[in-house]
Amino acid sequence: MKKAIVSALVLASCLWVPLVSFAQQDPQFTQYMFNGLLLNPAYAGSRDFTSVSASHRSQWTGFDGAPLSQTLSLDGNLNKKLGGGVIITNDRLGAQRFTEMSLNSAVRISLDPTTRLALGIALGVTQQTLDGTKLNPDERDDMAIPMGVERAIKPNAKFGAFLYSNKFYSGLSVGNIVFFKEGLPTDPEPHVFLTSGGVFDVAHKTKFRPSLLLKEDFNGPAALDLNAFLLYNEQIWLGTSFRTTLNIFNNTANSNATRLGNALAVLLELHPNPLMRVGYSYDFSLNQLRQYSSHELSLGYNFTKKKYGRMLTPRYF
């Protein structure tokens, strides 16, 4: 009973109870396609060079208790077959906060001269924080409601597979595998992530990069992101992303409410040189929260190698 009461109060404090059950237990980033380590540990080292990435997202700006998320990651090759990386994420949502750090490793198998299959695992810890002082219950002196700040630290794991070449990729991963569930009622739920995309030449110096992301936790409708980018002269990425929900496993109970997650985003990524990228995205909500917009800024730096005196061109994914 205590778990149910506190969970309801935490979610109600943010006025978006249904959303947390299927999407926001994992930090949401619109520009995840530029940092595959966010979703899949098998991505570590897949670009054949060392890369550092950082993102900051402010969702529904101006809305009290809205999500605020940051991430910082580093990944690269350990040798020809092994990749490794570390990622730190911080997600604040109303009265609750999740801070996670994980070590990622991946082994790559060459299927042919241009195609590889990577299998990865991430092991880490998650600190959950629940601030009872930010809750406003109808009844005072309720023992089920924390009076102060409660914290819990738990180990977790993530597993994934990543198939890729110079022209396409597909990935499947399972995250938020918490080894024991006793403690705070805000334990993250396991999520399944399916990603796929490719890159095609469409004109002189212009490429087209479509992609998709399907997120499922089996507790509510799945979230689907559809993305499309145009890349000009290896320097300018201009794209759009549409986010919606699907009732794949007949999770219809919250199907209408969870459409709060629907959004349309525009994205701009600039590559002033092969080593650096700067990105910005702006999300338009397509629901009752349409008056609140979301902003996200990302930065990346690649430590690429030279071959025959020339800088190697970074991968598109």
Task: State pLDDT tens for residues 87-112.
Answer: 999 999 888 888 999 999 999 999 99
100, containing H or E segment: strand 96-112
Q: What's the average model confidence in pLDDT over 201-217?
A: 93
Span 284-292, mean pLDDT?
Answer: 84
* Local confidence band at 65 (pLDDT 50, 70, 90 cut-offs): confident
> Tens of pLDDT along 233-248?
989 999 999 999 888 7
The pLDDT assigned to 288 comes to 80
Q: How far is CA 61 from CA 14, 54, 58, 265, in A?
A: 13, 20, 6, 15
**Has residue 4 got a pLDDT over 50?**
no
Q: Distance from CA of residue 103 to its chain's centroid?
A: 16
- Examine the pLDDT at 1 and tell me if it is beyond 50: no
Q: What is the pLDDT of residues 290-315, one digit of tens each?
A: 888 999 999 999 987 655 444 455 57
C-alpha–C-alpha distance, residues 234 and 91, integer Å: 32
> Is residue 179 over pLDDT 70?
no
Residue 276 neighbours by CB under 8 Å, 6+ apart: 299, 300, 301, 302
Name the pTM for this structure: 0.84
Q: Does pLDDT of 46 surpass 80?
A: yes
Residues near 112 by beta carbon (within 8 Å), at least 6 away in sequence? none
Specify the amino acid at residue 316. Answer: Y
pLDDT tier, 16 (very low <50, low <70, confident <90, very high otherwise): very low
Taken in order of first residue, the domains within the chain and their CATH numbers are 30-303 (2.40.160.60)
User: Are the C-beta atoms of 193 and 158 separated by less than 8 Å?
Assistant: no
For the chain, what is the mean pLDDT? Answer: 82
Q: Can you tell me the mean pLDDT for 38-66? A: 92
pLDDT by residue (tens digit) across 120-157?
Answer: 999 999 888 887 776 766 656 665 566 778 888 888 89
